Structure 1
Amino acid sequence: MEALYVRQLKLGAMKNFVYLVGPRDSSEVLVVDAAWDVPAIERALVEDGKRLVGAFVSHCHGDHTNGLPELLSRHDVPVYAQRAELDFSADLRGLVPGALRPLDPGAELTVGGRVFQALHTPGHTPGSHCLLAQDALVSGDTVFVNGCGRCDMKGGDPEAMYRSLSQVLARVPDQTRLLPGHDYADVPVEAMGEVRRNNPYFGFGDVASFVAYRMRPRG
């Protein structure tokens, strides 16, 4: 039996995935990127007998955060975001200011007695980060099964994205399940070993080639 509990909820108009994540042998869970449909998130908690102990924000964009005010009106829990993202986004700082808990790169969170880690993976935004939870990586918009996050929006940095993929996420074990922030592929979950073999954004050996490919004009 898997040691990790994961509930993947596809919500909203942009094919977002919202996640409930925690140890299978505990009632405690984090919600990752609470957005779009807070009642659906709460129904999942009740159905699975889980108790919300925190909200993890992968990055500041509204399609990943628009449910936070409603969620915080019903649940008194901390909201974890990368310190660099809070420095970058006044909108995020203003969303739930009293609940925010800044995280530094590599910070650890304890949920149900298990330690999860926040991996700082800038590129899509300066403070984008992934949640490494036992055998799963919840990646927000840093990386998808077949792609990676855009780097041409405010705060985007393709060189930082290259380093996030080629250095930080290259070290995640092959068997770790990638849980992306959007349903953009034929499968909703994929092992990181397969992602690194098949995702074209992991195939570049130098930053210049990656940047040219990532920032190429789209038709």
Structure 2
Amino acid sequence: MARFDGFLIQRSYTMIFKQLFEPDTCTYTYLLGCDRTRRTVLIDPVANEVENYIGRLKQLDLNLLYTMETHVHADHITGSGLLREHLGSKSVVHRDAGAMCADLLVTDGILLQVGDLEIEVRHTPGHTNGCVSYVVGDRVFTGDALFIGGCGRTDFQQGDAGRLYDSITKKLFTLPPDTLVYPGHDYNGNTVSSIKQEMAKNPRLGAGKSREEFIAIMNELDLPYPKYIDQALPANQACGREPAVRHG
């Protein structure tokens, strides 16, 4: 499927939508804005791309309202803290994410209004306890829960393969089949999939694979230790800023 970039007509309003890519960690960040109010969110911003985000927002005359995390990342440092300092945006994470520095702690089913855009929070744990996916009209932003042809790993943080299977099958595969899937990462140059495609072809849990089959597949993965985890986890629990050092 082709990359979507620019202005999209959806539900009788105009949504500004851009898919941004950070090559070092193969991370996708998503910019979603309301054309009428110029209010905007960034999903999963990366710290070393903050200047680029600020320039793009200025170029498009957009007001950043929220930075929305899909989870506490282990592979990169979030840009939410820096963006809050520069632009006054509010950071959003799930209440189970372990990032109490956030401005807004959300739960399953919460609806966030950003101008004419309605963003639904779906709790999709399994990669971590605090993973969420964001549903906006005909698309879902799945973070590290569901990838194109894959899914997030379950062998560290609060990973639980059975819980991830339940999240994907009950919270994501129940969306309309034509719902577009935009993941948090892709390592093969893919930009977008669909619920129908992942249900049919995802090698880890598509084609009707059972919960037991999925758990067995995940248990057999031999994945390297994430190279940025020791820096990323403590920083992300502090919304991307260095944790404060107490002096006696």
Fold shared, TM-score > 0.5 on shorter chain: yes
Does residue 1:84 correspond to 2:96, yes or no?
yes
**Which protein has the larger Cα radius of gyration, Structure 1 or Structure 2?**
2
Q: Which runs of 5+ in 2 are unaligned?
A: 1-7, 224-248
**Structure 1 equivalent of residue 124 of structure 2:** 121
Does residue 1:37 correspond to 2:41, yes or no?
no
Secondary structure of 2:96's match?
helix
Does residue 1:73 correspond to 2:88, yes or no?
no
**Structure 2 equivalent of residue 53 of structure 1:** 65
The structure richer in helix per residue is: 1
For these two proteins, the number of residue pairs brought into alignment is 210
**Structure 2 equivalent of residue 19 of structure 1:** 30
Does residue 1:100 correspond to 2:86, yes or no?
no
Q: How much has 1:126 moved relative to structure 2?
A: 0.5
When residues 104 and 156 of structure 1 are mapped into structure 2, their CA distance, relative to the original with a 3 A threshold, is: same
Secondary structure of 2:32's match?
strand
Which one of 2, 13, 16 corresponds to residue 9 of structure 2?
2
Q: How far apart in 2 are the matches of 1:132 and 1:17?
A: 16
Normalising by structure 1, we get a TM-score of 0.88
Whichever residue aligns with residue 80 of structure 2, its letter is: L
Q: How much has 1:22 moved relative to structure 2?
A: 2.8
Whichever residue aligns with residue 37 of structure 1, its letter is: E
In the alignment, is the contact (CA less than 8 A) between 1:34 and 1:64 conserved in 2?
A: no
In the alignment, is the contact (CA less than 8 A) between 2:146 and 2:183 conserved in 1?
A: yes
Which 4+ stretches in 1 moved above 6 angstroms?
none
**CA RMSD after TM alignment:** 1.8
In the alignment, is the contact (CA less than 8 A) between 1:130 and 1:140 conserved in 2?
A: yes
**Structure 2 equivalent of residue 110 of structure 1:** 113
**Structure 1 equivalent of residue 163 of structure 2:** 160
Q: Greater RCO between the two (CA within 8 Å, min separation 6)? A: 2
Q: Percent identity?
A: 26
Q: Which runs of 5+ in 1 are unaligned?
A: none
Which one of 202, 207, 217 corresponds to residue 211 of structure 2?
207
Normalising by structure 2, we get a TM-score of 0.78
Q: Which shifted more, 42-51 or 146-155?
A: 42-51
